[in-house]
């Protein structure tokens, strides 16, 4: 993709992802125990907050924040009532949060948070924010004058319990599900308001199985560190997985977060041992794998045992696997991905994968 000249919204990377949940303490424990996140920071009653509590965990460059309400009537409590546990904030790491806010709001973004400066003894952080699809928001986080543990107001969280990492390194991409006919609205939003470009060669047409269908386009920022595929449902014989999501999440929201690893077999073995449940594709997927993708470094046996999928594009190949939804509602799930040159998103796996998802949907009675 051509680099955009005069990039009006330079982004260094994903700063953090914040989930609004029913019980932040227990959610943080799950991500420690199952996914190998390390405790990082805490804010709550002990730090002077009266209405909410947040636990921050980290693994290499990935930071997750779990926030829950301590009172019945608050935006956090209402968010959880409506959506169940889910992603509220996709925070983007920028060098200038004020400019990020001005450039995006003047291009039509709806304001969520005017630029605000937060300070403590470790320095200052400037934060601003805009609304995106559903009730999800982007925060722009400028932390160049800050060397504290996370953000002002947070203290170090140092519990005894520290299960080992599972080798997850950074957020590769985050996918949004939007409503019928809204994909292009959000593609335009990311293009016009945020200066993103569409990765033209992938997924840009109907994806369908015998029963269900969806459409997807991928938007990326100029340095490609931020990649947001946007899905909308498409008409099929039965209810698509995107519609199921929209029904249970009660609107658009983040569908999955893809996290990268350098050793997918090791990572997925550890995750599975620690209780993360993955979708299984039919055995037949592996019988024809070598013919479809050619030579790869990995042995097929362990990939088949774990259910890891492989796809190839003109730049190389990738290995990927998808978890079952990690909430009670069939909403958010995770992807584990290892890229060996490939820059795409596993289009060759969509059919096998969606058939596996439909099997799960039929068990839930939502196909």
- Residue 292 CB, shortest distance to Fe ion, in Å, is 19
Of 62-70, 129-137, 236-244, 330-338: span binding Fe ion (CB under 5 A): 330-338
Q: Which is nearer to Fe ion, 109 or 336 (CB)?
A: 336
Q: What is the DSSP string of 70-127?
A: SSSSSHHHHHHHHHSSEEEEEEEEES-HHHHHHHHHHTTPPEEEEEEEEEETTEEEEE
Do 195 and 8 form a contact (C-beta atoms < 8 A)? yes
- The alpha helices in 107-240, defined as continuous H runs, are 183-192
- Residue 357 CB, shortest distance to Fe ion, in Å, is 13
Q: Give the one residue of 258, 259, 303, 336 binding Fe ion; rule: CB under 5 A.
A: 258
Of 57-65, 116-124, 238-246, 334-342: span binding Fe ion (CB under 5 A): 334-342
**Distance, first Cα to last Cα, the chain:** 37
Identify the bridge partners of residue 177 per DSSP, sorted by sequence position.
231, 253
Dihedral sign for Cα 131, 137, 142, 148, please.
positive
Q: Which is nearer to Fe ion, 14 or 68 (CB)?
A: 14
Q: Which is nearer to Fe ion, 311 or 335 (CB)?
A: 335
Q: Give the one residue of 85, 203, 244, 335 binding Fe ion; rule: CB under 5 A.
A: 335
Q: Which is nearer to Fe ion, 285 or 350 (CB)?
A: 350
- Residue 349 CB, shortest distance to Fe ion, in Å, is 10
How many whole angstroms separate alpha carbon 292 and alpha carbon 305? 19
Do 14 and 93 form a contact (C-beta atoms < 8 A)? yes
Residue 201 has phi, psi (to 5 degrees) of: -85, -5
- Residue 171 CB, shortest distance to Fe ion, in Å, is 11
Do 193 and 108 form a contact (C-beta atoms < 8 A)? yes
Site for Fe ion in 150-169 (CB under 5 A): none
Cα distances from 198 to residues 192, 204, 223, in angstroms, run 11, 9, 13
- Residue 237 CB, shortest distance to Fe ion, in Å, is 24
- Residue 194 CB, shortest distance to Fe ion, in Å, is 20
Q: Which is nearer to Fe ion, 77 or 219 (CB)?
A: 219
Q: Which is nearer to Fe ion, 258 or 279 (CB)?
A: 258
Do 255 and 327 form a contact (C-beta atoms < 8 A)? no
Of 144-152, 158-166, 254-262, 270-278: span binding Fe ion (CB under 5 A): 254-262
- Residue 98 CB, shortest distance to Fe ion, in Å, is 32
Q: Which is nearer to Fe ion, 125 or 258 (CB)?
A: 258
Q: Which is nearer to Fe ion, 143 or 339 (CB)?
A: 339
Residue 225 has phi, psi (to 5 degrees) of: -80, -20
Residue in 61, 266, 94, 262 with CA at minimum distance from that of residue 170: 61
Reported as type and span, the H/E element at residue 305 is: helix 300-306
Q: Which is nearer to Fe ion, 109 or 309 (CB)?
A: 309
SS3 state at 209: coil
264 binds Fe ion per the rule CB under 5 A: no
Could you identify the residue written with the tokens 């470790």? 122
- Residue 172 CB, shortest distance to Fe ion, in Å, is 8
Number of residues that bind Fe ion (CB under 5 A): 2
Of 30-38, 126-134, 295-303, 335-343: span binding Fe ion (CB under 5 A): 335-343
Per-residue binding string, Fe ion, 211-250, x by CB under 5 A, is: ----------------------------------------
Query: For the purposes of burial, counting CB atoms within 10 Å of the CB of 48, is it exposed (0-12), middle (13-18) or buried (19 or more)?
Result: exposed
Interface with Fe ion by CB under 5 A: which residues? 258, 335
């Amino acid at each position: 993709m051509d680099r955009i000249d005069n990039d009006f919204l330079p982004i260094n990377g994903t700063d953090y992802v914040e989930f609004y949940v029913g019980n932040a303490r227990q959610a943080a424990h799950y991500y420690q125990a199952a996914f190998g996140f390390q405790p990082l920071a805490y804010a709550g009653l002990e730090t002077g907050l009266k209405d909410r509590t947040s636990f921050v965990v980290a693994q290499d460059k990935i930071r997750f924040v779990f926030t829950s309400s301590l009172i019945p009537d608050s935006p956090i409590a209402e968010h959880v009532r409506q959506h169940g546990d889910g992603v509220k904030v996709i925070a983007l790491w920028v060098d200038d949060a004020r400019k990020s806010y001005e450039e995006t709001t003047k291009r039509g973004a709806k304001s969520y948070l005017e630029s605000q400066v937060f300070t403590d003894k470790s320095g200052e952080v400037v934060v601003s924010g805009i609304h995106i699809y559903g009730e999800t928001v982007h925060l722009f986080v400028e932390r160049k004058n800050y060397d504290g543990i996370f953000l002002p107001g947070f203290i170090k969280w140092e519990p005894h319990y520290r299960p080992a990492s599972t080798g997850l390194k950074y957020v590769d991409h985050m996918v949004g599900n939007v409503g019928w006919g809204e994909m292009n609205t959000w593609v335009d939003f990311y293009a016009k308001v945020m200066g993103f470009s569409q990765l033209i060669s992938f997924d840009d047409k109907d994806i369908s199985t015998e029963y269900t269908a969806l459409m997807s386009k991928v938007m990326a920022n100029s340095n490609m560190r931020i990649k947001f595929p946007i899905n909308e449902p498409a008409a099929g014989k039965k209810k698509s997985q995107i519609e199921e999501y929209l029904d249970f999440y009660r609107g658009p929201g983040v569908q999955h977060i893809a996290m990268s690893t350098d050793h997918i077999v090791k990572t997925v073995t550890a995750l599975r041992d620690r209780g993360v449940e993955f979708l299984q594709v039919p055995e037949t997927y592996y019988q024809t794998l070598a013919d479809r993708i050619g030579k790869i470094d990995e042995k097929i046996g362990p990939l088949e045992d774990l259910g890891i999928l492989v796809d190839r594009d003109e730049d190389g190949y990738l290995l990927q696997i998808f978890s079952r939804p990690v909430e009670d509602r069939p909403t958010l799930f995770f992807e584990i991905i290892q890229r060996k040159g490939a820059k795409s998103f596993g289009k060759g796996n969509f059919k096998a994968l969606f058939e596996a998802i439909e099997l799960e949907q039929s068990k839930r009675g939502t196909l």
